[in-house]
Structure 1
């Protein structure tokens, strides 16, 4: 097994993958039950992706997992919307940017794991974009056993909001100044989270 490197050294290695990272304590990750209501009743992708509800960890499970960590990192990304796709279809409007978040979060997690942080685990932003359509979209119904057939199981991670993480509350605790957007034309920032230890 690889000997665990110092956290400061790890942060430098992670910045080589993505420079816009900030440390965060696990205690500063805010989990709230209401968050998944926004997925269930506000998101057109609900039930269509294996990294989203109802397939993702519940807020209760997320709280228990966070108790097993002390530190993580938040990664910030500038999204580049596709002007050819209406912002009304937000996931497709931001598809390439969301995909970049998911790929980078996986690489950050992998780097930490290989540096001896074997508990490293990432959380993404928004639904998975590794496939044009996910298994739940292709079948009328699936059970949790069928989720094992995910085509990118090694890289798929749940989104923060899918697990009940209050992204705004968490980012405010991490020192980010945020505001609600009334238009995607004003620029969009996306965030990922990687728990370390």
Structure 2
């Protein structure tokens, strides 16, 4: 069996039919730092509640190894549309529809790349998963690494970049996209995903 692969420029054009705001980056330029998961563990209310988040997601050490097996990353930018009915202090629910759009689009981008011959394509999302109103770990008293077996959307769930130790701010800076810290959600902001390709 031979596998015909679409050229990277042609693939990028195909992927832009799925989502137009894409930027290629070398996989070597994706920045991973051990401190990133501290922000998940100490500060994120979703820690341990979603199968795409720590402690279920790959560690920074695992992420570095994974990145070494890829050549290119495609960064996808999404405009966020907060829900005015939900307070920003409940960020996950304040951005529920926007996060869900990111997760669905990253899955579609990964799938399109896979079907174009990039069989190693793998996506990373932004923020905790929103495919279910509650995730299996939220429904239990204790976290169990084997909970991932029972994920209701296993074919589509991907970890968030930050959950794997990817420094999103630094990675976007290296890619020339830049990102700044906002002091208010009323300023308008974007969410980012990543699809790795070989």
Q: Give TM-score, length-normalised by structure 1.
A: 0.98
Mapped partners of 2:136, 2:23: distance in 1:
34
What is the Cα deviation at residue 141 of structure 1? Answer: 1.3
Structure 1 residue runs without a partner (length 5+): none
Q: 1:20-31 to 2 correspondence within 5 Å? A: 20-31=21-32
Q: 1:1-197 to 2 correspondence within 5 Å? A: 2-197=3-198
RMSD: 0.8
What is the Cα deviation at residue 2 of structure 1? Answer: 4.2
Off by >6 Å, runs of 4+ in structure 1: none
Secondary structure at the aligned position of 1:19 is classed as: coil
Secondary structure at the aligned position of 1:191 is classed as: strand
Number of residue pairs the alignment of both structures matches: 197
Mapped partners of 1:146, 1:85: distance in 2:
29
Mapped partners of 2:84, 2:188: distance in 1:
12
Q: Alpha-carbon deviations, 1:41-99, whole Å to 9, x = none?
A: 01000000000000000000000000001101000000000000000100100000000
Q: Give TM-score, length-normalised by structure 2.
A: 0.98
